[in-house]
Amino acid sequence: MPTTKNYACKTCDFSFDSPSGLGQHVAIAHQECGVCGETFEGVDELDEHTQNSR
Ligand SMILES: [Zn+2]
Ligand SMILES: [Zn+2]
């Protein structure tokens, strides 16, 4: 069964067959800092980063 996944994540190597799948992945897996733009693997890591740079 061929898989055509045209929506590749820019942050990691995952790719998806729909924009919604990609969007969901990014929302869950990649939390972006609003200050410096750095991305994190989850809410916890972003939380820690945000608190440290306060
Ligand atoms: Zn990703
Ligand atoms: Zn930051």
Give pLDDT tens digits for 3-45: 689 999 988 899 999 999 999 998 888 888 999 998 888 889 9
The number of the ligand nearest the C-alpha atom of 24 reads 1
Name residue, tokens 């200050």. Answer: 35
Ligand 2 centroid, distance to 45 Cα (angstroms): 11
Predicted TM-score (pTM) of the model is 0.60
CA of 48 to the centre of ligand 2 (A): 10
Domain count for the chain, please give it: 1
Domain that holds residue 16: 7-52
Is the residue at 34 inside a domain? yes
In this structure, which ligand is nearest to the CA of 39? 2
Closest CA to 9 of 37, 34, 39: 39
Tell me how long the chain is.
Answer: 54
- Residue 54 pLDDT: 60
pLDDT of residue 2: 65
Banded pLDDT at 1 (limits 50, 70, 90): low
27 closest CA partner among 51, 53, 14, 5: 14
Give the phi and the psi of residue 4 in degrees, each rounded to 5.
-110, 100
Please give the Cα distance from 18 to 12 (Å, whole number): 16
Residue 2 falls within a domain, yes or no?
no
